[in-house]
Structure 1
Amino acid sequence: MDTSPSETNNSPPEKRGKVEMESDNEDKDDTALNQQPLRAEINLEIVASDANGGARPSNSVPLLSIPFQQRPAFDSGHRITRLGGKYHIILAVTGSVAAIKLNELIQELKRQSPPNKLVVKVVTTQSALNFFDPKEMGDVTVYEDRDEWNMWKKRGDPVLHIELRKWADSLVIAPLDANTLAKIANGFSDNLVTSLIRAWDQKKLLYFAPAMNTAMWENPLTYQHLKTLKELLLYREIPPIEKELMCGDKGYGAMASPQMIASILASDIKNKFAVYSYSDY
C-alpha cells in the first residue's frame, strides 16, 4: 500500500537533554548556595519527531542520569599560608593515565618523609581530572583552573599561581604528559599548571616525571623538549620506566613508580631538616 510523506516518518529521533542544578541545601538563600557543593543531574531522552519536525507523543524515559558533586571554586577570601617548621610541596598533575596513582604517590610521600613535617597541595589540569577524584585526596587541597579565575576579580585579589609559587618549597610534575611537556618547553602558560611552572622560582627545586606512550616518548620532539627542561631550565627528570602500558604496548614511557618518586623527594625533605634514622643507612 502506498503511503504519503505525511504518513511516513523517516526523520531520525531527536535528542533532548536536560540539566538540572540544585544545592544540597534546600535553603535558597544565595549565601547558603555559594557555600554548598553543587549537585547536577543530567537526564537524556529520545523523542521521536514527525516528518515536519514536530515531536510525536511517546512514552519517553530518561536514558542517562549522572549525579556528581563539585565543591565551589575558591574565591578571593581563600588564603594560602605557610606553616612554621614544615616542608611545603606541590604535586602538579597532567593528563596522563598515570594520574590514577596520585593518591598512592601522596601516601607514599607522607610515609617516607619525616613525621609531621610535610604539607602537600595539588594543582591539576582539566584533562587530569578524568583519572582521579579530588574528593578522594583527603585533607590535601586540589586546585583547578576555575579557582585561578574565581579568586582574582580585581586589583588586590590573590593571583593563585603566584600565591602557590611563594608558598611551595619544591614542585614535582607527576605525571608529565606529552602535551604539557611541549607547552613548558615552548613557554606556554595557558592553564593553572603551566602558569605556575612559567612563574616558578628558579632557585627552588622542580622535578618532573614524564609519562606517555612509547611512540610519543621516542618522538624526536620529545628529546628536544626534555633537553630544554633539563639544560635550559635546570629541572630535574625522574625518568620513565619500561613496562606494559595501559594501551597494551610494551616499552619505555611509563611513569616511575610512586615509591621511586617519593624516595627522591623525601631525600630533599630530610636534607632540609637533617632528619635521618639508622634505617636510612
Structure 2
Amino acid sequence: MLHNMSKRNILIGCTGSVATIKLPLLIAELRNSGWDIEIQVIVTQHADHFFSAEDIPPGVTIHRDEDEWNSWKGRGDPVLHIELGKWADLMVIAPLDANSLAKMAHGLCDNLLLCTTRAWDLTKPLFFCPAMNTRMWEHPITGPQIDTLKSWGLREIPCVAKTLMCGDTGLGAMAEVGTIVGQILTYLQEMDLRN
C-alpha cells in the first residue's frame, strides 16, 4: 500500500567504494518500501567498476560524467547537475568514499556527482553514507571532514564495524542497506506529516 499518493524523487550517488556493489539492493528495497518512488543514480567513474548495468532494474536512469557534457551544447540548454538537483526530493550518497568526502568538504566539484552536491538546495535533505578502509576512517582528517558536511545540514548515516573486503576488521563499512532505507523512509514520513 502506498503511504502517499505523491511520487517522491530520490537521487542516489555512488562513489568509488566497493560498497557500490549494494546499489541494486538499495534500489530494490526503496522500490519495495510501499512508497511511490522514482529513482535516478549518479555514479563516479570509479563507482562504475563495482556494478553491472544489467543489475539495475528497468526505469532507473544511471548518469555518468559524460552525460553532463553530452546534454549541453550551448546557452539555454539544460545543465544536468542543476536539473538533477531540481528534480530530486532528496539525495543519498551511498557509498561516500574517502576521496569524494575530502572533495566535498573542500568544495571541489570535478565530476557530475560533486557538481550536483555543490549546487544542492540545502533546504532538501542530503544523506551521506561514509565507506572506507578502517585506516582511512581513523585518519585525523576524516572526522573534521564529516563534521564539515554535517555543519552544512547534510545527514550522516554512520559507517559500521565489520570485516571489510580487504580482510581488515574495524569501522569504515557502509551502513547496512536496511538502515539507509529506514532513515530515508523516516524522513519521507516526517515530510508527509508536515504537509
Q: TM-score, normalised by structure 1?
A: 0.65
Within a 5 Å distance, the mapping from 1:1-281 to structure 2 comes to 85-114=6-35, 117-138=36-57, 139-231=59-151, 233-274=152-193
Partner amino acid for 2:172? Answer: G
Deviation at 1:165, TM superposition (A): 0.7
Q: Distance in 1 between matches of 2:116 and 2:191?
A: 23
For the 8 Å contact 1:174–1:209, the answer to whether it is kept is yes
Partner amino acid for 1:106? Answer: I
Q: Distance in 2 between matches of 1:224 and 1:129?
A: 28
Q: Whose helix fraction is larger, Structure 1's or Structure 2's?
A: 2
Aligned residue pairs total: 188
For the 8 Å contact 1:151–1:159, the answer to whether it is kept is yes
Aligned residue for 2:32, secondary structure, equals helix
Q: Distance in 2 between matches of 1:123 and 1:174?
A: 11
Q: TM-score, normalised by structure 2?
A: 0.93
Label 1:273 to 1:183 Cα distance change in 2 as closer, same or farther (>3 A): same
Partner amino acid for 2:184? Answer: L
Q: Distance in 1 between matches of 2:29 and 2:173?
A: 18
Aligned residue for 1:193, secondary structure, equals helix
Q: Distance in 2 between matches of 1:113 and 1:229?
A: 30
Larger radius of gyration: 1
**Root-mean-square deviation (CA), in Å?**
1.2
Q: Distance in 2 between matches of 1:176 and 1:210?
A: 5
Q: Distance in 2 between matches of 1:106 and 1:273?
A: 21
Deviation at 1:111, TM superposition (A): 2.0
Aligned residue for 1:112, secondary structure, equals coil
Label 1:113 to 1:209 Cα distance change in 2 as closer, same or farther (>3 A): farther
Partner amino acid for 1:90? Answer: L
Deviation at 1:179, TM superposition (A): 0.2
Gaps of 5+ in 2: none
Deviation at 1:120, TM superposition (A): 0.7
Q: Distance in 2 between matches of 1:223 and 1:273?
A: 33
Q: Deviations over 1:206-233 (max 9, x none)?
A: 10000000000000010111111012x1
Deviation at 1:113, TM superposition (A): 3.9
Gaps of 5+ in 1: 1-83, 275-281
Aligned residue for 1:252, secondary structure, equals strand
Deviation at 1:268, TM superposition (A): 1.7
Aligned residue for 1:152, secondary structure, equals coil
Q: Distance in 2 between matches of 1:158 and 1:133?
A: 28
